[in-house]
Structure 1
Amino acid sequence: MKKTYYLFNPGRLSRKDNTLKFVAFDEDGYEQKPRYLPIENVDELYAFGALDANSALYNFLGQQQVPVHFFDYYENYTGSFMPKDALLSGKALMAQARVYDNKTKRIELARLILEGAAHNMIKNLKYYDKRGKDLLPVIERIEVYRNQFEHVKAIDELMGLEGNIRRTYYEGFELIVNDFSMSGRSMRPPQNEVNALISFGNMMCYSQCLRAIHQTQLNPVISFLHTPGERRFSLSLDLAEVFKPLLVDRVVFKVLNKKIIGLKDFDKSLNLVVLKNGGKKAFVKAFEDRLSETIQHRTLNRSVSYKHLIKLECYKLVKHILEIEKYKPFKMWW
């Protein structure tokens, strides 16, 4: 079974016959013992340290349909090497562009995406409210914003509601998270531990969504809720809205409340807060565990992993833009 591999140390990646050879460098720049990864076992790579590689290596990865996602020291997602699209469809591309270009259709789809995101945020809050966290006032305020979706006539208005919902939702983190304070959302750079985990987790979620999009006929640069821009895969931002409460926020709550990650796992020396390598490894393990969890899918009537749910969401978007079946966002029911 194929796996995702995370390269935390800087190093050199090369091809060795039909395997990948990774030689990590320690803090003093000395080479460590090589590690060999059979290519048939590799699904994707995450590079958190400087990676030395050549075009022959990337040609090999492209042939094997293995993407590489890159992050800088500050945990910012900086880009991906994506293999050549294997599922090209001019029909789907034209249909996707037409939906974006049609104000009514775009608003309708953007509203559905945000409806799924808001529902899943509320589900998280209700889960912890039942456990004595007194989150009902926060839930009620989000419901007020959600009830305004159907009256929105412009994307800017919808994004304004999204911002209000997120700010309100993050207020609930103060009650959910033990021993740490979020003090509002801060990005670029994150100013405290909770924000550092959210930023790191969101980047992980975006790259998972990008990978799922690449495995379907969707084009990652044509989005509906977020405005398409230069040099960004904005559709992955749309898709991530639905899954961040499920995949990122639940993991943040788990690693902090169960003390899997603590103060020792953060670096605060640069007027910002970032995860140390040990903290990144702990979060990645919890995130991978979450992706591999399964639920009994109501429609397919079989067990489906959370990771596969993202690809299923892409298929639903394809059906919607091709006018086969109206999109219904994934909503937690448990």
Structure 2
Amino acid sequence: MKKTFYLFNPGRLSRKDNTLKFTPVDDNGREGQPKYIPVEGVSDLYCFGSLDANSALYNFLGKAGISVHFFDYYEHYTGSFQPKEYLLAGKMQIQQTQHYLNVAKRLVLAKKFVEGSAFNLTKNLKYYDNRSKDLESQLTRIQSLTESIGSTTSVPELMGIEGNIRQSYYSGFDVILNDHAMEGRSKQPPLNEVNALVSFGNMLCYTQVLDQIYHTQLNPTISFLHEPGYRRYSLALDLAEIFKPILVDRTIFRVLNKREIQSKDFDIQVNRVILKESGKKTFLKAFEERLSETIQHRVLKKKVSYKHLIKLECYKLSKHLLGIETYKPFKIWW
């Protein structure tokens, strides 16, 4: 079974027969012990350290269908190497573009993304509210905002509602978390430990969604809720809204409340907090475990992983764009 590999250290990546060879390099240029990764076992690579590679290596990765995602020192997603878009189809491109250009059609999908996100956010809050955490004020506020989604007449207005829903939701983090406080959402840069985890987790969710989009006929640059922009896979931002509460926030609650990640796992700088390597590894382990968890799917009548749910969401969106079946966002039913 293919899996994701995370490269934390700077180094050199090269091909050796049908194997990937990663040679770590320290700050003084000294090479460490090489590690060999069979290419048939790799789904994608996440690079958190500087990577030295040549075009021959990327040709090899492209033929093997392996994506590479890059992040800078401050954990910002900077870009991806994606193999040739072998699944893109003309009909889908046309329909996706038409749904973006048609204000009414675009608004229908944009509302679905916000509704799905709001529902899953509410489920998280209800889970903890039922466990002696007083989150009634947040739940009431989000319910009121959710009821106004249907009457919105523009995407900017809808984005405003979505932002207010998120603000109310994040205020509940200070109630849910035992030993940490969020104190409002801060990003670019995150100003405390909770915000550092949210930024890191959201970025991982975004790249997971992007990877699943790649395996469908959807174009990741044409979106409906977020405005398409230069050098941004904005459709991944749309779909990630639905899965961040399930994949990212639940993981954050786990690693902090179970003290798997503590203050010592953060690099606290002036006006910036980032995860140390120890914190990244712990969070990634918990995140991977979350992606691998399975649930009994009510329609398919079989167990599917959370990671596969993302791909199923892409298929549902594809059917909507092609006029086969109306899109309904994934909502937690348990």
Q: TM-score if structure 2 supplies the norm length? A: 0.99
Deviations 1:38-67 (A, max 9, x none): 000000000000000000000000000000
Amino acid at match of 2:293: E
Q: Within 1, Cα distance between the matches of 2:32 and 2:217?
A: 41
Deviations 1:201-240 (A, max 9, x none): 0000000000000000000000000011111000000000
Q: Within 1, Cα distance between the matches of 2:54 and 2:289?
A: 32
Residue equivalent to 1:232: 232
Deviations 1:49-87 (A, max 9, x none): 000000000000000000000000101000000000121
Deviations 1:279-320 (A, max 9, x none): 000000000000000000000000000000000000000000
Partner SS, residue 248 of structure 1: helix
Residue equivalent to 1:24: 24
Residue equivalent to 1:259: 259
1:25 is displaced (CA, Å) by: 2.2
Deviations 1:228-268 (A, max 9, x none): 11110000000000000000000011010000000000001
Counterparts of 1:313-332 in structure 2, within 5 Å, are 313-332=313-332
Q: Within 2, Cα distance between the matches of 1:267 and 1:137?
A: 33
Q: TM-score if structure 1 supplies the norm length? A: 0.99
Residue equivalent to 1:117: 117
Q: Within 1, Cα distance between the matches of 2:122 and 2:170?
A: 11
Amino acid at match of 1:142: I
Residue equivalent to 1:130: 130
Partner SS, residue 153 of structure 2: coil
1:59 maps to 2:59: yes
- Report which stretch shifted further, 218-227 or 266-275: 266-275
1:31 is displaced (CA, Å) by: 1.5
Counterparts of 1:277-316 in structure 2, within 5 Å, are 277-316=277-316
Amino acid at match of 1:112: K
Residue equivalent to 1:145: 145
Q: Within 2, Cα distance between the matches of 1:132 and 1:30?
A: 54
Report if aligned partners of 2:44, 2:68 keep a CA contact under 8 Å in 1: yes
Amino acid at match of 2:300: L
Residue equivalent to 2:84: 84
Amino acid at match of 1:73: Y
Residue equivalent to 1:13: 13
Aligned-residue sequence identity (percent) comes to: 63
Moved over 2 A (4+): 25-30
Task: In structure 2, list runs of 5 or more residues that go unmatched.
Answer: none
Q: Within 2, Cα distance between the matches of 1:30 and 1:299?
A: 54
Q: Within 2, Cα distance between the matches of 1:32 and 1:127?
A: 47
1:178 is displaced (CA, Å) by: 1.2
Partner SS, residue 33 of structure 2: coil
Partner SS, residue 281 of structure 2: helix
Partner SS, residue 44 of structure 2: strand
Amino acid at match of 1:282: T
Amino acid at match of 2:211: R
1:28 is displaced (CA, Å) by: 4.5
Residue equivalent to 2:35: 35
Amino acid at match of 2:262: G
Amino acid at match of 1:62: G
Q: Within 2, Cα distance between the matches of 1:319 and 1:90?
A: 15
Partner SS, residue 131 of structure 2: helix
Partner SS, residue 331 of structure 1: coil
Partner SS, residue 40 of structure 1: helix
Amino acid at match of 2:22: F
Q: Within 2, Cα distance between the matches of 1:125 and 1:264?
A: 28
Between Structure 1 and Structure 2, how many residues are aligned?
334
Q: Within 2, Cα distance between the matches of 1:28 and 1:281?
A: 24
Amino acid at match of 1:175: V
Q: Within 1, Cα distance between the matches of 2:247 and 2:25?
A: 31
